[in-house]
Chain A
Amino acid sequence: MADKIYRVRMNDLSFSVEDVPKEWLGLGGRGLTSTIVAAEVDPECHPLGPNNKMVFAPGLLSGTAAANSGRTSLGAKSPLTGGIKESNSGGTSAGIMAKLGVKALIIEGLPEEDDTFYHIHVTKEHVTIEPIPELVGKENFEVLDTMLERYGRKVAVFSIGTPGEQRMLISNISVKDPQGKIRSLGRGGLGAVMGSKKIKVITVDAGDSKETYLADAATFRAANKAFTKALKENPISGEGLPAFGTDILVNIINEAGGLPSMNFRYGTSENAEELSGEHVAENIQERGGKTTHGCHAGCVIQCSQVYNDKDGNYVTSGFEYEMIWAFGANYGIDDIDTIAHIDHIMDDIGVDAIETGVTFGVAAEGGMLPFGDGEAVIKILTEEIPNGTPTGRVIGSGAGNVGKLYGVVRVPVVKNQGMPAYEPRAIKGQGITYVTTPMGADHTAGYAVATNILNSGGHIDPLKKEGQVELSRNLQIASAAIDSTGMCIFVAFPALDDPACLPALIDMINARFGAELTGDDVTNLGKNILKLEHAFNLKAGLGKADDRIPEFMKYETLPPHDAIWDFTNEEIDAFWDF
């Protein structure tokens, strides 16, 4: 049976199962979510009002044996940025949705009853929408365990904690991972959209369904073999990430003078060695954790890890560079175990690690609490935010709003979204991605490399402007394309060295659908998605003036390189000349 669109209407608690329109057939992941949001959501709508929609979609290769194909995309208008948003995550949901034949799950409208939260349960051609009062006010791990007890471990679970219920802009959506822990649809405050629709939890049960047919199974298997080989034999995806995780970047970015510290005052951190991937890996080995851990079935990179405390007890998994940076370098906590504890709390309550960490940096700058005070952070996350106190709501409103409330000038946001762990003054290519991506300041928007459009000539100097706009454009096009396959974006790393990697990925897509896509088709897909998202933002009122770096970066130099943001508006706007 062909894939279907599952549509849930919260206004009358009804659902329909629809044929996939022809123009959506070749799309998946971000390509599909952004296409549907652009087609069905009024760009001028209030993100928390009745006219916003949530669109969940597995990738084109999700549910197959393709290595690293288990990412789920969620699209909506973001209440944080006011623009279009695609957030994606590992976990088990992409494979389960694909096996059930769910091309996309669209949730629209708001329920009439404002004091009831609902549970949406998706099965073959059926959806139930029922009140779930017993889980209101509970956090993610309790919600997750309750659902697993009710439906068994093979069910996909999306949930929000109390910040999402309260429609806080730092809230995210949790996704069950293969071990029964949590991954996150992190950025853009999409937990608040789920909260506005009064949905506490969504479960998807594929039962015995296996709708992921292959048009040419033999070719698919051969291409997947080549693809997996490329991932496993590459020094990044095959060795560096499994050994040290993404946190290996702390020392590297610090050495480059691009590790934002103390709310983006400095480009290096005194805490770098404590925070480093090397140190985290040592702790994991000493304490019986795991340096390798996959966020979804079929991952051969295993960049995640299991981090235990000094007594060998589980604390957290998915302990990523950006989270460790946010609380260690940017907010200044000098103890990695305190940061791990905070990571666990954030998984439980469901807040975006980057936005929350950047918010604490701005709050410290404004004098709300001292820099580096881990206990103060823990108290706010466990008491103030869940109870919706004024302090909890202030932090829950995100970095841009806290900056306004406290009269802070040094507020590192683009389109009101907090900047991740790479200083735009010292790593200028990243800065161009922050200002131009339709997503607001987002590092993963420019993460992938498509070698067929990469200008490999010449040395890129991260401190200089030359070549950066073109580089960022190429990275963003490739990232948009990879995000649409449902692949983890890390699959693009071997592509820099191994010319067999991306063609094998395209071969798999062709063998899955009986298509004849070329590398150029895929890069064109990336271009089209970017343009579609940009057009949505323009209609939403986000114009050129929103494609700008915070002003302080244009007059404050960043130690140690005394770097400054020196792009003209014309240079930035030329990004869209394609």
Chain B
Amino acid sequence: MTINFNAFSFARLTLRSQGIECVNVDRELRDGMTIQDFIDELGFEAGEIEAVFLNGTIRPKSTVLHDGDRVALLPPGTPGSYRLILGIKAMNDQETSPE
């Protein structure tokens, strides 16, 4: 499958330093991959990506990707109350809290 992909702020710097294009690029992924699989494939470690936009909304990293999806990776550092208002913090808390 092919997804469209963006990385923002520090995530962009990290990927560019490895020569990985990450501004509005198409990328081939294996069918059935989740957002977390994709993050792992790019080499990010836990905590480096706080939240992920999937087709314009913050979605759990366990979400399975599909052909034509638009994905944007967001590292920690979103200012304003927007980290709260956009649901970034709540999703991150949910995903990182011990069961």
**Nearest CB in chain A: distance from B52 CB, A:** 10
Q: Is B19 an interface residue (CB 8 A)?
A: no
Contact A240–B78 (Cβ < 8 Å): yes
Q: Give the residues in chain B near A471, CB-CB below 8 Å.
A: 84-85
Q: How far does the alpha carbon of A446 sit from the alpha carbon of B57 in the complex, in Å? A: 21
Q: Give the residues in chain A near B75, CB-CB below 8 Å.
A: 235
Q: How far does the alpha carbon of A430 sit from the alpha carbon of B86 in the complex, in Å? A: 10
Q: How far does the alpha carbon of A460 sit from the alpha carbon of B91 in the complex, in Å? A: 9
Q: Which of B12, B24, B83, B91 contacts A459 (CB 8 A)?
A: B91
Q: Which of B77, B85, B91 contacts A430 (CB 8 A)?
A: B85
- Residue of A at shortest CB range from B24? A273
Which stretch (A166-174, A182-190, A241-249) binds chain B? A241-249
Q: Is A255 an interface residue (CB 8 A)?
A: yes
Q: Is A102 an interface residue (CB 8 A)?
A: no
Q: Is A429 an interface residue (CB 8 A)?
A: yes
Number of interface residues of B (CB under 8 A): 30
Q: Give the residues in chain A near B23, CB-CB below 8 Å.
A: 273
Q: Is B98 an interface residue (CB 8 A)?
A: no
Q: How far does the alpha carbon of A429 sit from the alpha carbon of B81 in the complex, in Å? A: 10
Contact B93–A456 (Cβ < 8 Å): yes
Contact A429–B85 (Cβ < 8 Å): yes
Contact B9–A560 (Cβ < 8 Å): no
Contact B90–A236 (Cβ < 8 Å): no
Q: Is A20 an interface residue (CB 8 A)?
A: no
- Residue of B at shortest CB range from A459? B90
Scoring A residues 229 to 272 as 1 if CB is less than 8 Å from chain B, else 0, what string do you get? 00000011101110110101101110111000000000000000
Contact A253–B82 (Cβ < 8 Å): yes
Contact B12–A427 (Cβ < 8 Å): no
CB contact under 8 A between A252 and B81, given known A456-B93, A461-B87: no
Q: Is A441 an interface residue (CB 8 A)?
A: no
Contact B87–A248 (Cβ < 8 Å): no
Contact B82–A463 (Cβ < 8 Å): no
Q: How many A-B contacts if CB must be within 8 Å?
A: 111
- Residue of A at shortest CB range from B70? A255
Q: Give the residues in chain A near B56, CB-CB below 8 Å.
A: 255-257, 560-561
Instruction: Name B's interface SS.
Output: mixed
Q: Is A503 an interface residue (CB 8 A)?
A: no
Among residues 407 to 462 in chain A, which have CB atoms less than 8 Å away from a CB atom of chain B? 422, 427, 429-430, 443, 446-449, 456, 458-462
Contact A248–B8 (Cβ < 8 Å): yes
Interface footprint category on A: 35 or more
Contact A456–B9 (Cβ < 8 Å): no
Q: Is A496 an interface residue (CB 8 A)?
A: yes
**Nearest CB in chain B: distance from A171 CB, A:** 26
Q: Is A278 an interface residue (CB 8 A)?
A: yes
Q: How far does the alpha carbon of A430 sit from the alpha carbon of B94 in the complex, in Å? A: 23
CB contact under 8 A between A255 and B84, given known A240-B78, A240-B79, A493-B79: no
Contact B6–A255 (Cβ < 8 Å): yes
- Residue of A at shortest CB range from B50? A235
Q: Is A475 an interface residue (CB 8 A)?
A: yes
Among residues 53 to 99 in chain B, which have CB atoms less than 8 Å away from a CB atom of chain A? 53, 56-57, 72, 74-87, 89-91, 93-94
- Residue among A244, A256, A430, A448 with most chain B CB within 10 A: A256
- Residue of B at shortest CB range from A462? B86
Q: Is A490 an interface residue (CB 8 A)?
A: yes
Q: Is B38 an interface residue (CB 8 A)?
A: no
Q: Is A277 an interface residue (CB 8 A)?
A: yes
Q: Which of A237, A255, A460 contacts B85 (CB 8 A)?
A: A460
Q: Give the residues in chain B near A446, CB-CB below 8 Å.
A: 81
Q: Which of A243, A244, A257, A462 contacts B87 (CB 8 A)?
A: A462
Query: Which A residues form the contact surface with B (CB < 8 A)?
Result: 235-237, 239-241, 243-244, 246, 248-249, 251-253, 255-257, 273, 277-278, 303, 422, 427, 429-430, 443, 446-449, 456, 458-463, 471, 475, 490, 493, 496, 560-561
Q: Which 6 A-B pairs have the closest CB atoms?
A: A240-B77, A235-B76, A429-B85, A459-B90, A257-B56, A255-B53
A-B contacts, 10 listed (Cβ < 8 Å): A235-B77, A236-B79, A240-B9, A240-B77, A244-B77, A249-B78, A252-B74, A256-B57, A459-B91, A490-B79
What 6 additional pairs, Cβ within 8 angstroms, besides A249-B79, A496-B83, A496-B84?
A: A240-B9, A243-B77, A249-B82, A252-B74, A456-B93, A493-B83
